[in-house]
Structure 1
């Protein structure tokens, strides 16, 4: 009896000692329901550890040994974890928990992960060392301390250490480096490709050392879902080096990691406990060729092709790592300065068109504007980068089996002539390029109606190949216009002008400012075409005559009052040399046609003031002209 009591007493003592350690820690949970333990560490600092990632368990074993001089029985660990999980249901929520880069209440945070546990706070007013712990960060065993950023640094010194020559590629890399610090944004895959000896691995190492230094720098890649999810979970900026072609499921996982993904599995095979990883990551890949031609991957990637270094270039690289370490604080400080200034002008930056990763396009355009490259030029560089490598990687990758149709249209308009006609005419025009046989799941339209539907499905793919398609109603059927896209992307930066813009750069505005006189109250930020305005006589009740044709039930031209160029007196439309606006419930200003009638009318319809009107308009074809009807 005494032996049994003594045995029971001995079993209780280790459990009590272990729970006394746990009770001194703080149990927390994040917005996703993951459980964390906040506890003191030997250096006097505070550690924020996920329950199931091993760090807390290691700390528990070590603390138990220091307190009792004995080892914590493994039989107790499982029970302790169950108790903590049960308590976590009523634990306080800390919101989002970040790895290295955080964002709370409009401010960026950067965990330097150094011995002093310093955190940088950044907003449009500048960057500074944060007081206390304004945001919850978790740390991993492989993290290394970041360099302490220097004031008045220079971000462009980064390119003293990268084998990248073109201004466009340098701007894409700098914008990517800045965006990688912003976890609230969708960040791209930076894919560095090139032959052996092109220094792509070195470039990846330098970029990661700036943004998320770890040991090892490069992550081990295995084509396994759980292992790859663990890489994303444990690394703020994963780097996968020297990739061979990757299978489709890996490409899908990379895409999900960019836009936000996760992984869930049983924690132990003996029970129903679940371990879950959630993440949203930018990343860096290096490979000799693009690792996959999947369109979803390429639409999320910024591909930088690097040239092979000569032996003389390699000799000049001696001591490059030491020089980089010396320049590192200034480079990081310069990047933080650029991010601060980019955040200042971001609200005034209004791109007309953005890439699939809109966050990257918008913020990257602000970065480009700050350093003097230009926001519109940056967006065009992103667009051209995606187009170039989608062509190289996959040719025509249209959805829903419409690859043959996309290929045929590209062959038809590839010579630069474009197409302008109704749907049945387009169907006849592409017949010479029809495939002799269709692959599994591929389609070919056999009627104008099916072609009209299919055209809408490949519109984005035509844009990726540099062509714009416009569909409009006409008297003879749906009119299809296919033409090459303009080489520039309009982008407007409102005042104030960029303080860091280059000489003569100023705020980017690809659209010329309209000069309409003191009476014009319209905003011309996104107008592109200048159209002279002419007032329509009030005797015309239903439509504007253009060309030589007279419409039924219309007054003859010679009976109508002559058109004048006096300002329109309607309260809803002041005379403006750039716009055609509908007059409320009455009529609308006309345009004096010159040159190609159809182009002039289309330009007028493109005016956003016209499109935003409460009225509607459409173009109808005539033998020798066009007219606009309002109703």
Structure 2
């Protein structure tokens, strides 16, 4: 202020804030506490008062009812607080979670069924009507059910008797959701009798002259349907979110995913707890029992509780998709409506109802035919337009894709010119390995898309591949050999979204699909023959014939798997190629397919040599290094840096090669390319090694 002696405006005066003494509720009420007030300052003397006690019977506080003339009834809780150093009764409620009315009675009868009602007056009435039950309630009315402490009802059989109005039904739903969370053994919501007035409750039943026998019959009617009409809705409305849980087997995977096994028409189905299939089953069961649909909130609450129970209380099982392995037996899911599977042992195979392994289903999975015995795999030979060696590799890939013990799979790459039926052949092969509503798909946009595809199908079939990007080639290599993928879960800061495992991959396209050495080592490169107009048949007739053959061909593949189980422990390979497990499996299964000893290995090695040669010829760095050492150097060893070696090669390679995108322009890229082509040069008897000597990093080229 400019004038220090001017009058002070009253608005400018600020009063110091008074610090409120700390206030803490006191439970139970001690013996030296002051007497509670007998009236409310505004509402007067209460018309009724109910005492809340703890498990030991000690007083926790009161709820009082006030009847105001012309304004109806109102309720006020009365609790003891320590305010500063003083004990003081205040018309305020308990902190959450709030105690239950009748908690002391609940503890005294641990094996007695429980009835929950809305309000203390109704609870007193039920205690006069249901002498074989314990009756409790919660404070705060219909909107405060979730604020009470329901943990004491774990493992108890519970009936909820709601008021006959919308608020009463909401209270019942909220209580049921809390009881699901705290693990009540069962919960049933009673349905009010017909033609009762709105708001009718247990107190009204007592006023209407109900006898204990009538009340007991009312409760018992909730456990059986009173009508013989199968289309009529039952009188009682059971909260299936708990009653259904009695029929569930909740379990989790080693990756901590929650699953539920449910009984449907005499067979068990296994679903992820967060799947749409499980939600539909849960809603369906609820409707069967109540004739109603559960609220979205109750359904969501129940699913979260099921997930927690599966993870914390359920057993750990390995979930399988399409194929599985358990205790020396391989399994194949037929994916039919009865959830049958085929058990393959060393002594043969059989179709089994209710298999012990946990097969999970995805929405796009289609059923396999029921296999037939007594067939030979050669019966389908005329449908495969490939040379004999390539035909054997196709059959071998199909056997491997059904082998539940596999931790890696070869990539089947179908090539050929236009008119060779690559897409049709890929569909045929997949229909016997992993039929799907979407038989083929385009290439994924990124690794995340590839991971999603792997989580929703056993076989990955990519149609009409025109080019193979480097990242995709690397990702398919990891998918073939069982490496993992991990990414951040969408809409989260740090939660992981991941996949661990291997999948059979099927590719088809016109250009060579194995341009990279790492993919070539994992691939079976099959070239289909062109089908001329004389040999081509209408597609409808082709598929009719295949549908007729398919059950027998599946049986023939299962015979091969049984033979593999019988022989595989005695198979020892002289040399182990990159896909050694696949080679060992097919040597063990060969006699089951009617093949001679060594016949498969001969076809496999021939295919690997041809693929390696094609990859070598398609890699300009590998060709240039081979020419440099064998022609320019005359087979003599060479030592130098990557810079020196790139300069040597740039002297004699053509301008066209030097300017192409396949020729490395920078020294570090060239060094990586040399390392990449080392396996190709090794097959040409050239050894590539890198060593660091002081400050120099040297490349050694030697003829083996």
Q: Look up the match of 1:11.
A: 170
- 2:214 aligned with 1:55: no
List aligned pairs for 1:186-201, cutoff 5 A. Answer: 186-201=408-423
* TM-score normalised per structure 2: 0.58
**CA shift in 2, pair 1:51/1:220, >3 Å:** farther
List aligned pairs for 1:117-128, cutoff 5 A. Answer: 117-128=339-350
- 2:685 aligned with 1:467: yes
Q: 2:609 aligns with which of 374, 384, 400?
A: 384
Distance 1:74 1:268 in 2: 23
**Which structure exhibits the higher relative contact order, with contacts defined as CA atoms closer than 8 Å and separated by 6 or more residues?**
1
**CA shift in 2, pair 1:414/1:318, >3 Å:** farther
**CA shift in 2, pair 1:11/1:275, >3 Å:** farther
Q: 1:411 aligns with which of 627, 634, 639?
A: 627
Q: After alignment, is 324-333 or 368-377 more displaced? A: 368-377
Contact 2:286–2:293 (Cα < 8 Å) also in 1: yes
Q: Look up the match of 1:395.
A: 619
Q: Look up the match of 1:449.
A: none
Q: Alignment partner of 2:527: what SS?
A: strand
Higher-Rg member (1/2): 2
- 2:243 aligned with 1:24: no
Q: Look up the match of 2:393.
A: 172
- 2:667 aligned with 1:434: no
Contact 1:219–1:231 (Cα < 8 Å) also in 2: no
Q: Look up the match of 2:467.
A: 245
List aligned pairs for 1:496-515, cutoff 5 A. Answer: none
**CA shift in 2, pair 1:276/1:25, >3 Å:** farther
- 2:403 aligned with 1:182: yes
- Distance apart, 1:24 and its partner CA: 2.8
**CA shift in 2, pair 1:10/1:434, >3 Å:** same
- 2:197 aligned with 1:38: no
Q: 1:102 aligns with which of 324, 349, 354?
A: 324
Distance 1:53 1:419 in 2: 66
* TM-score normalised per structure 1: 0.64
Q: Look up the match of 1:349.
A: 571
List aligned pairs for 1:87-166, cutoff 5 A. Answer: 87-130=309-352, 132-164=354-386, 166=387
Distance 1:102 1:120 in 2: 10
- Distance apart, 1:122 and its partner CA: 1.6
Q: Look up the match of 1:301.
A: 523
- Distance apart, 1:225 and its partner CA: 3.7
**CA shift in 2, pair 1:86/1:51, >3 Å:** same
List aligned pairs for 1:479-628, cutoff 5 A. Answer: 482=703
Unpaired segments of 5 or more residues in structure 1? 397-402, 446-452, 472-477, 484-631
- Distance apart, 1:248 and its partner CA: 3.3
Q: Alignment partner of 1:378: what SS?
A: helix
1:429-484 per-position Cα deviation (integer Å, ceiling 9, x unaligned): 98995324862244889xxxxxxx99998642313x5436499xxxxxx998636x
Q: Alignment partner of 1:192: what SS?
A: strand
**CA shift in 2, pair 1:78/1:97, >3 Å:** same
Distance 1:21 1:274 in 2: 31
Q: Look up the match of 2:211.
A: none
Distance 1:9 1:263 in 2: 50
List aligned pairs for 1:58-97, cutoff 5 A. Answer: 58-97=280-319
Unpaired segments of 5 or more residues in structure 2? 1-73, 75-140, 144-162, 178-238, 652-657, 659-663, 690-698
What is the count of residue pairs matched by the alignment? 456
Q: Look up the match of 1:493.
A: none
Q: Look up the match of 1:590.
A: none
Q: Give RMSD over aligned pairs.
A: 3.7
Q: Alignment partner of 1:202: what SS?
A: helix
Contact 2:520–2:612 (Cα < 8 Å) also in 1: no
- Distance apart, 1:213 and its partner CA: 1.6
**CA shift in 2, pair 1:456/1:47, >3 Å:** closer
Distance 1:70 1:431 in 2: 77
1:269-325 per-position Cα deviation (integer Å, ceiling 9, x unaligned): 389776544442012122222456343333322121223322222237661111111
Distance 1:210 1:310 in 2: 26
Distance 1:114 1:163 in 2: 31
Distance 2:499 2:702 in 1: 48
Distance 1:62 1:249 in 2: 45
Contact 1:192–1:285 (Cα < 8 Å) also in 2: yes
- Distance apart, 1:93 and its partner CA: 3.0
1:370-422 per-position Cα deviation (integer Å, ceiling 9, x unaligned): 51262441341242243144235x515xxxxxx4xx4444114668x997656
Q: Alignment partner of 1:242: what SS?
A: coil
**CA shift in 2, pair 1:123/1:413, >3 Å:** farther
Q: Alignment partner of 2:464: what SS?
A: strand
Distance 2:433 2:521 in 1: 23
Q: Alignment partner of 2:611: what SS?
A: helix
- Distance apart, 1:98 and its partner CA: 0.7
